[in-house]
A and B are shown apart, each in its own frame.
Chain A
Amino acid sequence: MSKSSPRRPFGRNTGTVTVIEAKVHRSSARNARLAFILTAVIVGLLSAVVAASSMHPILALFIGALIGALSGGLAWVLVRIWPVLRLLWWWTTEIGITIVLGAAWVQLANHTPLPVTLVVVALVVGVPAAVPVTRRALVAWTWCLVVRHRLRVCFAQFIIANQSGSLPLILWATPTPVGERVWVYLRPGLSMADLEGRLDRIAVACHAATALVERASDGNAAYLRFDIKRREVLTATVGSPLVDVIDPATPATDRAMPVVPTALDLPDVDAPVITLPVQKKPATTANGSKPGASSSSSDADDVSDWI
């Protein structure tokens, strides 16, 4: 690409929204060229070899070149639009839901009079919203969609992965009583330890209280599980099933009445008379100062806590 080429349409000063970063754009162009050449050469040669069995080799070579160029062009287009495809893939669920809802609305509006349409919509929207169970389930699943995007933002914004900027594969998410659980497959360049140091920022990005990350597979360090916590559920008192095991008609044990102490308040207790053993005066050094040592005991945590 020549240096005098005009600014790209995705540049910063053109007033358009930057969909693809300049760096990614450049590498995308290079990758596309590479994909074109590789695909064209391989497919072209193979086609020529296959075609040569039924026609003249020179003719087969031309046919091979044609097929190779077509396949290479397809590969070039795919690689060039890959960032957009990826974006569409990330939002597949939302796009799908929107299309389904839109189509349903259009069909409903076309086939029923307005009052019926409104009643149906009110029922479809209102009943799940009014029933607590379905409302909570809907909200929880909505959070799952949100959290996947928020995690992607985390990875793209402040978890630097590798030179080509590839993001981890953010797999499915399920609601849990405390929040969401998201499975992630890391690409080369990241490890669980990298993520552990950023859990507080991940929690902030996901609008959650805390976030935890742990291995989802014993055999694969790339397969991780995020636990996003946004609710405290362990607040109710938990009963023990052992209470139901016992026979309530059990006779109470006869206990000998223990001696009940009487001096239960401060004035009832006299100061104990303690005879201290005669202590030697602490030795002083020549300059009169007390010897050091024995002053190192402090309540603060020190390194020997861990030894």
Chain B
Amino acid sequence: MTTATAPTSGVPVGPGLSMFDPIFVGIDEFGQPVYITLAYRNLLAGGEPGGGKSGLLNCIAAHAALSVDSRLVLLDGKLVELGQWEDCADAFIGPDITEALTVLRRLQVVMNNRYAWLRAHGRRKLTAADNLSVITVLVDEIAFYSATVGSKQEQEEFVALLRDLVARGRAAGIPVVAATQRPSFDIIPTSLRDLFGYRAAFRCTTPNSSNIVLGHGWAEQGYTATDIQPTNQGAAYLIAEGGVPRRIKVAYLTDNQIAGIADYATWIRRPATGNRTEWEIAA
């Protein structure tokens, strides 16, 4: 497991995790731990309400919060799913599409600057040695921003900005993790949905819904999230490394555990939030 020993002397340093490390998300059917490396990948989670999508998002947020080279941008239409990470996040957007658009535009500028920086150095992608932070963008309920709130133009701009981040953010260290109940074409355009490399399908009601999340044809091959019991929250099919869906159980963090990790993450970031350090400016 990619865990380091916790500092016991109370020195405000990070526990040594990095966003380039594999992120522990749960166990598979063989009892083996499942890791995903998110630094160069985007993840889309889908499934019916109460399936465990937020558990996965919180798992990733916890790792990102405890990583020294990480920044969190959280978009949560429900406020409560990712709300506990607000203090250690660089941006926390509630049900306000104007703010969401603002932060996405900022991210787009950062991404463009990073690509210019990479080009100036004759490189093609960011690595852990660059001392640049990985800006993890977590979006819970895309549908809220892309189909519910705001005007038509704002929704379209949100989708366009998000698509740009998903399409180009990978090598610039801006991975996007998005969750929605059913990512059909009326919620997010298929052109955006198909860009996500990693997929997690929590319980779905129809094989068609499962196919929409995992990709066309998996249900016919026997990988359908309809066979997950409704009572088995957190069980999902995950397509990540390997390319074949794996049945996993997502690690669950209780509210108290999240609060503890968030407090700790906020605390280790204290100097960074007080006076802007070198790497923060670089980011």
A253 adjacent to B220 (CB under 8 Å): no
**B30 contact from A177, A232, A248, Cβ within 8 A:** A177
A304 and B185 in contact, given A211-B222, A213-B222, A214-B244 (Cβ under 8 angstroms): yes
| A263: interface (CB < 8 Å) | no
**B62 contact from A178, A229, A242, A249, Cβ within 8 A:** A242
Interface residues of A in 247-280 (CB under 8 A from B): 247-253, 255
**B29 contact from A178, A236, A255, Cβ within 8 A:** A178
B6 adjacent to A244 (CB under 8 Å): yes
**A240 contact from B185, B252, B263, Cβ within 8 A:** B252
| B184: interface (CB < 8 Å) | yes
- Give the size range of B's interface with the partner: 35 or more
- Binary flags per residue of B259-281, CB closer than 8 Å to A gives 1, else 0: 11111101100000000000000
CA distance A36 to B57 in the complex (A): 70
Residues of A within 8 A of B82 (CB): none
What residue of chain B has the Cβ atom nearest to residue A237's Cβ?
B252
CA distance A211 to B224 in the complex (A): 12
A241 adjacent to B3 (CB under 8 Å): yes
| A21: interface (CB < 8 Å) | no
A247 adjacent to B7 (CB under 8 Å): yes
A234 and B247 in contact, given A250-B263, A253-B87 (Cβ under 8 angstroms): yes
Residues of B within 8 A of A242 (CB): 3, 24, 62-63, 66, 253, 261
B251 adjacent to A246 (CB under 8 Å): no
What residue of chain B has the Cβ atom nearest to residue A215's Cβ?
B244
What residue of chain B has the Cβ atom nearest to residue A247's Cβ?
B6
A234 and B24 in contact, given A250-B260, A304-B185 (Cβ under 8 angstroms): no
Which residues of B are interface residues toward A (Cβ below 8 A)? 1-8, 10, 15, 17, 24, 26-27, 29-31, 59, 62-63, 66, 87, 184-185, 190, 206, 208, 212, 216, 220-223, 227, 229, 232, 234-235, 244, 247-253, 257, 259-264, 266-267
Q: List 5 A-B pairs, minimum CB-CB distance, nearest first.
A: A234-B249, A246-B264, A240-B251, A250-B264, A241-B3
Which residues of A are interface residues toward B (Cβ below 8 A)? 176-178, 196-197, 199, 209-214, 229, 232-253, 255, 301, 304-307
* Between-chain CB contacts (< 8 Å), 21 pairs: A176-B29, A196-B221, A213-B221, A213-B222, A234-B232, A234-B249, A237-B252, A238-B234, A238-B252, A239-B251, A241-B3, A244-B6, A245-B6, A245-B15, A245-B17, A245-B66, A247-B10, A250-B263, A251-B267, A305-B212, A307-B185
